[in-house]
Amino acid sequence: MKLKTVLMGAAGAMALSVGTTSAQDPVSLTIVSWGGAYTTSQVRAYHDPYMAENPHVTIINDDGSANALAGLRAQSQAGNVTWDLVDMLPSDAQLACDEGLILEIDHDEMLAAAPDGTSASEDFLPGSLGECFIPQIVYSTVLTYRPGAFSDDAQPSSIADLFDVENFPGRRALQDRPGTNLEWALYADGVDPDDIYEVLSTPEGVDRAFAKLDTIKEHIVFWTEGAQAPQLLADGEVVMATGYNGRMFDAIEVEGMDADIIWDGQVVEWDGWVVPAGGSNIEAVMDYLYWATDTQRLADQAKYISYGPARASSAPLVGEHADLGIDMNQHMPTNPDNYFSPIILDNDFWTDYGDELRERFANWMLQ
Amino acid sequence: MAQADARALANGAEPAPTDRAGRLQTADGVPLKTALRRAERRRKIAAFLLVAPLLFFILTFFVFPIAQMMWRSVDNPQVVRALPQTLEALQDWDGSDVPGEPVFAALHADMMADLERPRVAQAIGPLGIRLNYELSAARSAISRTARQVPNFEAPYRDAFMDSHRLWGDPALWRIIKREGRPLTSAYYVAALDREFDDQGNIVRRDENRRIYVQLFIRTILMSVAITFLTFMLGFPISYYLSILPMRYANLLMICVLLPFWTSLLVRTSAWIVLLQQQGVINTMLVQIGLISDDGRLSMIYNMTGTIIAMTHILLPFMVLPLYSVMRNIPPSYVRAAKSLGATPWTAFRRIYFPQTLPGIGAGGVLVFIISIGYYITPALVGGQSGRMISNEIARHMQQSLNWGLAAALGTMLLIGVLVLYWVYNRLVGADSLKLG
Amino acid sequence: MINKAENRRSTGGKLVSSGNRNGFVVFDRVQKSYDGETLVVKDLNLSIAKGEFLTMLGPSGSGKTTCLMMLAGFETATNGEILLDGRPINRIPPHKRGIGMVFQNYALFPHMSVGENLAFPLEVRGMGKSQREAQVKRALDMVQMGDFANRRPAQLSGGQQQRIALARALVFEPEVVLMDEPLGALDKQLREHMQFEITRLAHSLGITTVYVTHDQIEALTMSDNVAVFNDGVIQQLAPPEELYERPANSFVAQFIGENNKLEGTVETIDGERCTVRLDDGTVVDAQPVNVTSAGERTRVSIRPERVESNPQRLPEDAHLVDAEVLEFIYMGDTFRFRLRVAGQDDFVMKYRNAQDQLRLTVGDKIRIGWLPEDCRALDI
Rounded distance between C-alpha atoms, residue A267 and residue C266, angstroms: 115
Rg (alpha carbons) of chain A, rounded to whole number:
21
pLDDT greater at residue C291 or residue C210:
C210
pLDDT in tens, C314-331: 888 888 899 999 998 988
pLDDT given for residue C96 in this prediction: 92
Contact B152, B116 (CB under 8 A): no
Q: Give contacts of B337 with chain C, Cβ < 8 Å.
A: 95, 109, 120
Contact A341, A262 (CB under 8 A): no
Average pLDDT in the C102-112 region?
Answer: 92
- Domains along chain B? 1-66 (no CATH), 78-181 (no CATH), 212-432 (1.10.3720.10)
pLDDT given for residue B435 in this prediction: 55
Average pLDDT in the B121-135 region?
Answer: 91
Contact A193, A140 (CB under 8 A): no
H-helix or E-strand spanning residue A70: helix A68-78
Is the pLDDT at C17 greater than 80, yes or no? no
Between B333, B341, B346, which is nearest C109 by CB? B333
Same domain for A27 and A134, yes or no, is: yes
Length of chain C: 380
- Tell me how far apart the terminal alpha carbons of chain A are, to the nearest angstrom: 35
Q: Give contacts of C105 with chain B, Cβ < 8 Å.
A: 330, 332
Rounded distance between C-alpha atoms, residue B368 and residue B317, angstroms: 10
CB atoms within 10 A of CB B411: 20
Is the pLDDT at B9 greater than 70, yes or no? no
Say if the Cβ atoms of A201 and B392 lie within 8 Å: no
pLDDT given for residue A178 in this prediction: 93
pLDDT given for residue B432 in this prediction: 61
pLDDT given for residue A102 in this prediction: 93
What does the DSSP 8-state code read for residue A254? I
Same domain for A119 and A158, yes or no, is: no
User: What is the three-class DSSP state of A207?
Assistant: helix
To the nearest whole Å, the CA of C76 is away from the closest chain B CA by 14
Q: Which of residues 328-347 of B touch C (CB under 8 A)?
A: 330, 332-333, 335-344, 346-347
Between C99, C104, C109, which is nearest B339 by CB? C99
Q: Give contacts of B336 with chain C, Cβ < 8 Å.
A: 101, 103, 107, 109
ipTM exceeding cut-off 0.90 for this assembly: no
Is the pLDDT at C3 greater than 60, yes or no? no
pLDDT given for residue C10 in this prediction: 37
Please, which pLDDT band fits residue B5 given cuts at 50, 70 and 90? Answer: very low
Same domain for A264 and A303, yes or no, is: no
What does the DSSP 8-state code read for residue A294? S
Instruction: Kindly state the percentage of chain B with pLDDT values over 70.
Output: 93
Same domain for A70 and A197, yes or no, is: no
Average pLDDT in the B161-172 region?
Answer: 92
pLDDT given for residue B15 in this prediction: 59
Q: Which residue of A has its CA nearest to B146?
A: A98
Please, which pLDDT band fits residue C1 given cuts at 50, 70 and 90? Answer: very low
- Domain extent, residue A28, equals 4-138+270-331
Please, which pLDDT band fits residue C185 given cuts at 50, 70 and 90? Answer: confident
Say if the Cβ atoms of A366 and B119 lie within 8 Å: no
Enumerate the H helices of B73-123 as residue ranges: 78-82, 84-90, 101-116
Contact C296, C265 (CB under 8 A): yes
pLDDT given for residue A222 in this prediction: 87
pLDDT given for residue C318 in this prediction: 84
Q: Which residue of A has its CA nearest to B117?
A: A100
Dihedral pair phi/psi, residue B435, rounded to 5°: -105, 45
Is the pLDDT at A324 greater than 90, yes or no? no
Say if the Cβ atoms of C95 and B333 lie within 8 Å: no
pLDDT given for residue B120 in this prediction: 76
Rounded distance between C-alpha atoms, residue B31 and residue C144, angstroms: 50
Same domain for A351 and A324, yes or no, is: no
Say if the Cβ atoms of B208 and A222 lie within 8 Å: no
| SS3 of chain C | CHHHHHHHHHHCCCCCCCCCCCCCEEEEEEEECCCCCCCCEEEEEEEECCCCEEEEECCCCCCHHHHHHHHHCCCCCCEEEEEECCEECCCCCHHHCCEEEECCCCCCCCCCCHHHHHHHHHHHCCCCHHHHHHHHHHHHHHCCCHHHCCCCHHHCCHHHHHHHHHHHHHCCCCCEEEEECCCCCCCHHHHHHHHHHHHHHHHHHCCEEEEEECCHHHHHHHCCEEEEEECCEEEEEECHHHHHHCCCCHHHHHHCCCCEEEEEEEEEEECCEEEEEECCCCEEEEEECCCCCCCCEEEEEECHHHCECCHHHCCCCCCCEEEEEEEEEECCCEEEEEEEECCEEEEEEEEECCCCCCCCCCCCEEEEECCHHHEEEECC
To the nearest whole Å, the CA of A29 is away from the closest chain B CA by 22
Q: Give contacts of B357 with chain C, Cβ < 8 Å.
A: 111
Rg (alpha carbons) of chain B, rounded to whole number:
33
Mean pLDDT of chain B: 88
Candidates C170, C154, C165; CA nearest to C100 is C170
Indicate which of B325, B339, B431, B432 best probes the interface with C, i.e. most C CBs within 10 Å of its own CB. Answer: B339
Is the pLDDT at A16 greater than 50, yes or no? no
Rounded distance between C-alpha atoms, residue C340 and residue B136, angstroms: 110
Candidates B319, B304, B436; CA nearest to B367 is B319
Q: Give contacts of C172 with chain B, Cβ < 8 Å.
A: 340-341
- Domains along chain C? 2-248 (3.40.50.300), 258-378 (no CATH)
Average pLDDT in the C117-124 region?
Answer: 95
Say if the Cβ atoms of B384 and A364 lie within 8 Å: no
Q: Do chains B and C touch (3 or more CB pairs under 8 A)?
A: yes
pLDDT given for residue A10 in this prediction: 38
To the nearest whole Å, the CA of B326 is away from the closest chain C CA by 14
Please, which pLDDT band fits residue A24 given cuts at 50, 70 and 90? Answer: confident
Burial (CB < 10 A; 0-12, 13-18, 19+), residue B312, is buried
Chains with 3 or more CB pairs closer than 8 angstroms to C?
B
pLDDT given for residue B16 in this prediction: 62
Average pLDDT in the B12-40 region?
Answer: 76
Q: Which of residues 300-319 of B touch A (CB under 8 A)?
A: 301
Same domain for A239 and A360, yes or no, is: yes
Q: Give contacts of B330 with chain C, Cβ < 8 Å.
A: 105, 107
Average pLDDT in the B10-30 region?
Answer: 67
Please report the beta strands in A181-289, taking only residues with DSSP state E, as ranges in sequence order: 220-223, 240-244, 260-274
The number of domains in chain A is 2
pLDDT in tens, B85-125: 999 999 989 888 999 999 999 999 999 999 998 877 889 98
Highest mean pLDDT among A4-8, A20-24, A314-318, C226-230: C226-230
Say if the Cβ atoms of C103 and B336 lie within 8 Å: yes
Rounded distance between C-alpha atoms, residue B42 and residue B45, angstroms: 5
Same domain for A59 and A123, yes or no, is: yes
Taking CA atoms, B231 is separated from A340, B154, B362, B366, in Å, by 58, 72, 11, 12
How many A×B Cβ pairs under 8 Å? 99
Say if the Cβ atoms of B354 and C172 lie within 8 Å: no
Say if the Cβ atoms of C95 and B341 lie within 8 Å: yes
Mean pLDDT of chain C: 88
Please, which pLDDT band fits residue A123 given cuts at 50, 70 and 90? Answer: very high
Average pLDDT in the B52-61 region?
Answer: 93
**Chain center to CA of B80:** 30
pLDDT given for residue A298 in this prediction: 94
Length of chain B: 436
Chains with 3 or more CB pairs closer than 8 angstroms to A?
B
pLDDT in tens, A26-62: 999 999 998 888 899 999 999 999 999 999 999 999 9
Average pLDDT in the C344-364 region?
Answer: 84
What does the DSSP 8-state code read for residue A26? P
Is the pLDDT at C7 greater than 60, yes or no? no
Same domain for A145 and A68, yes or no, is: no
Same domain for A38 and A99, yes or no, is: yes
Is the pLDDT at C287 greater than 50, yes or no? yes
B206-235 burial, b for 16+ CB within 10 Å, e for fewer? Answer: eeebbbbbebbebbbebbebbbebbbebbb
CA angle C85/C89/C94 to nearest 5° reads: 110
Rounded distance between C-alpha atoms, residue B286 and residue A113, angstroms: 62
Say if the Cβ atoms of B340 and C98 lie within 8 Å: no
Say if the Cβ atoms of A354 and B392 lie within 8 Å: no
Candidates B84, B423, B368, B67; CA nearest to B229 is B368
pLDDT given for residue C308 in this prediction: 87
Q: For the packed helices B246-261 and B212-243, what is the interaxial angle rounded to 10 degrees?
A: 160
Q: Give contacts of C111 with chain B, Cβ < 8 Å.
A: 354-355, 357
Instruction: Kindly state the percentage of chain A with pLDDT values over 70.
Output: 94
Contact C241, C371 (CB under 8 A): no
Say if the Cβ atoms of B209 and A356 lie within 8 Å: yes
Between B122, B139, B208, which is nearest A364 by CB? B208
Q: What is the dihedral of CA A10, A13, A14, A18, to 10 degrees?
A: 170
To the nearest whole Å, the CA of B383 is away from the closest chain A CA by 6
pLDDT given for residue B430 in this prediction: 62
pLDDT greater at residue A225 or residue C304:
C304
pLDDT given for residue B14 in this prediction: 56
Contacts of B218 (CB under 8 A, 6+ apart): B388
Rounded distance between C-alpha atoms, residue B181 and residue A313, angstroms: 51
pLDDT given for residue B121 in this prediction: 83
Q: Which of residues 249-268 of B touch A (CB under 8 A)?
A: none
H-helix or E-strand spanning residue B250: helix B246-261
Instruction: Say whether residue B400 is in contact with chain A using an 8 A CB cutoff.
Output: yes
Say if the Cβ atoms of B330 and C107 lie within 8 Å: yes
Between C74, C111, C120, which is nearest B340 by CB? C120
Rounded distance between C-alpha atoms, residue C330 and residue A353, angstroms: 102
Is the pLDDT at C6 greater than 50, yes or no? no
Average pLDDT in the C268-286 region?
Answer: 89
Q: Do chains B and A touch (3 or more CB pairs under 8 A)?
A: yes
Is the pLDDT at A157 greater than 90, yes or no? yes
Is the pLDDT at B21 greater than 50, yes or no? yes
Rounded distance between C-alpha atoms, residue C117 and residue C168, angstroms: 7
- Tell me how far apart the terminal alpha carbons of chain B are, to the nearest angstrom: 63
Strand partners, C47: C26
Same domain for A125 and A190, yes or no, is: no
Q: Give contacts of A358 with chain B, Cβ < 8 Å.
A: 400
pLDDT given for residue B424 in this prediction: 83
Say if the Cβ atoms of B335 and C104 lie within 8 Å: no
Strand partners, B67: none
Same domain for A134 and A11, yes or no, is: yes
Rounded distance between C-alpha atoms, residue A362 and residue A297, angstroms: 40
pTM of the model: 0.80
Burial (CB < 10 A; 0-12, 13-18, 19+), residue B193, is buried
The CATH number that applies at residue A174 is 3.40.190.10
Say if the Cβ atoms of A359 and B209 lie within 8 Å: yes
Between B119, B129, B384, which is nearest A277 by CB? B119
Please, which pLDDT band fits residue A13 given cuts at 50, 70 and 90? Answer: very low
Average pLDDT in the C244-248 region?
Answer: 89
Same domain for A254 and A290, yes or no, is: no
pLDDT given for residue A197 in this prediction: 96
Say if the Cβ atoms of B384 and A231 lie within 8 Å: no
pLDDT given for residue A21 in this prediction: 42
Q: For the packed helices B124-134 and A347-366, what is the interaxial angle rounded to 10 degrees?
A: 30
Contact A310, A138 (CB under 8 A): yes
pLDDT given for residue B253 in this prediction: 87
Q: Which residue of A has its CA nearest to B191?
A: A359
